[in-house]
Structure 1
Amino acid sequence: MKGRIHSIESMGLVDGPGIRTVIFFQGCLIRCAYCHNPDTWKCIGGTEYTPKELHEKILKFKPYFFKSDGGVTFSGGDPLLQPEFLIEILKLCKNSGIHTAIDTAGYGKGQYEEILKYVDLILLDLKHVNKEGYLELTGKDGEETKKFLKVAQNMGIKLWIRHVVVPGITDSEEHMEKLANIISHIDNVEKIELLPYHIMGINKYKGLDIQYRLDRVEAMDKDKCKELEKKLRKRVEKLKS
């Protein structure tokens, strides 16, 4: 068995607790208008690894992330698109005492229960607050994310909720109220992160000859995004109390 890996980041600081080794998988079923890694969309490409080969590579970084209570985060693309390979590498990491996280939009090919047996933390990317918004922004309706989240909830997996704030699309007060309502009904949420939309990946689209759908949208102001995040957390706390 082999998996296709786009790239590996050895000192990740924003993809879970502590210092992380971040493994970016090839393949993604959704087409986010703001995606900054369109080169991960196709399931072909990347570098092939067996689970053992990738595990050995991860172990080389263990002295760095182990001291910071870090671990390994499987990202992408979306790691759920290579379920058999993901399960095997997760098993190897857990057997080595490594904290495991997956960064996902919840759009995979099933086998969620088996995958999540070996996952300590989910970084779940909620793309929008309703079906119409999901379709417009990603090309999918969000239903698969709901299925994945239901399994995660039933298994009691810890969650970090992430949401990209795009000016004029996902930054309104009404949008944030709906998002707060959704998050307030999700259990085991340890952290809520609003990520400011940026335009650093636009050149990749040109190189891949793909139209960039948000070419007239300016980057989200980081300070404004932080303020929205504070308000969102307060709303969620109020709704839960």
Structure 2
Amino acid sequence: MTGATTPTRVPGSVHSFDISTGVDGPGTRFVAFLAGCPLRCQYCHSPDTWQRRNGRTTGADDLLTEIRRYERFLKVAGGGVTLSGGEPLLQPAFTREVLRGCREMGLHTALDTSGFLGHRADDDLLDAVDLVLLDIKSGTPAAYRTVTRTGRLAPTVRFAHRLADRGTPIWVRFVLVPGLTDDPADVDAVAAIAAGVPTIERVEVLPFHRLGAPKYAALGLPFPLADTPPPDAALQERVRGQFRAHGLTVC
């Protein structure tokens, strides 16, 4: 049909991309940050990715062409490609085609998501995912709402169990913020959720930082946690210990 969009011409909004090691999946990775996110997490360090209009309209094939430039290097470095955000599942068709293209190159693929829009990921998309980096923001519905300001916990939990039913490996990411996500009962609730998902391989406790504060200022937005300090070593170890007490591997 004349004018039809071929799969790799599926358009998306890409904020930026980078090469990283050790923080976005195994090995050295090409990380594409897609624009647009339905959540407004208080600790978000990239408010410039909240709106799709803040990204550049890009065809899936164009992004794959960029990735192909690094293909050999990524393979030698034992890495792959991670789609992050923003929230990649806000653009499921684009995300699916990029992941498929990476799989065709023989590259390891990772999806970094909150799981809030997990229902938008069809089986074809998940078939192209080797690893899900799942951000579990909090462990109770009320606390989740406070942290994200717009989201609900249940969709993330459903998505985690759907991934487990498929046998998809998961790395959980939990951002530790003093006074916001450090309540012992809530941490235990997150740990209990994770312990009930058999394909979760590890939990990464990520200490809060204020490096995104200048982005809020540039956008004319207040940074909700401007006066919140990073967690000290004792708090980090306490929280990691809570996850370990549930039988989880913690990083």
Q: Give the structure-2-normalised TM-score.
A: 0.89
- SS of alignment partner, residue 232 of structure 1: helix
Quick one: distance in 1 between partners of 2:51 and 2:221? Answer: 13
Change (3 A) 1:192 1:225: farther
Q: Which runs of 5+ in 1 are unaligned?
A: none
Alignment of 1:219-238 (within 5 A): 219-221=230-232, 223-224=233-234, 226-228=236-238, 230-237=240-247
User: Does 1:26 find its partner at 2:26?
Assistant: no
Quick one: distance in 1 between partners of 2:244 and 2:139? Answer: 18
User: Does 1:188 find its partner at 2:199?
Assistant: yes
Change (3 A) 1:206 1:92: same
| Aligned residue type for 2:97 | E
The answer to whether the 8 A contact 1:112-1:151 is kept is no
Quick one: distance in 1 between partners of 2:169 and 2:242? Answer: 19
Structure 1 residue 224: Cα displacement: 3.1
The answer to whether the 8 A contact 2:35-2:87 is kept is yes
Q: Which position in structure 2 is the counterpart of 1:130? A: 140
Change (3 A) 1:193 1:220: same
User: Does 1:79 find its partner at 2:88?
Assistant: yes
Q: Which position in structure 1 is the counterpart of 2:171? A: 160
Equivalent position to 1:93, from 99, 102, 109: 102
Change (3 A) 1:180 1:107: closer
| Residue deviations 1:61-106 (CA, integer Å, cap 9, x gap) | 1222211221000000011110001111111111110100011101
Change (3 A) 1:64 1:83: same
| Residue deviations 1:95-144 (CA, integer Å, cap 9, x gap) | 11010001110122613423211000000000001000111110212222
Structure 1 residue 179: Cα displacement: 2.1
Alignment of 1:1-241 (within 5 A): 1-108=10-117, 110-139=120-149, 140-221=151-232, 223-224=233-234, 226-228=236-238, 230-237=240-247
- SS of alignment partner, residue 206 of structure 2: strand
Quick one: distance in 2 between partners of 1:136 and 1:230? Answer: 22
| Aligned residue type for 1:34 | Y
Which deviates the most, 144-153 or 56-65?
144-153
Quick one: distance in 1 between partners of 2:124 and 2:130? Answer: 13
Quick one: distance in 1 between partners of 2:181 and 2:201? Answer: 22
Identity of aligned residues (%): 35
TM-align CA RMSD? 1.6
Quick one: distance in 1 between partners of 2:80 and 2:121? Answer: 23
Structure 1 residue 225: Cα displacement: 5.2
Structure 1 residue 228: Cα displacement: 3.2
Change (3 A) 1:125 1:66: same
Moved over 6 A (4+): none
The answer to whether the 8 A contact 1:193-1:229 is kept is no
| Aligned residue type for 1:156 | G
Q: Which runs of 5+ in 2 are unaligned?
A: 1-9
Q: Give the structure-1-normalised TM-score.
A: 0.92
Quick one: distance in 2 between partners of 1:113 and 1:232? Answer: 34
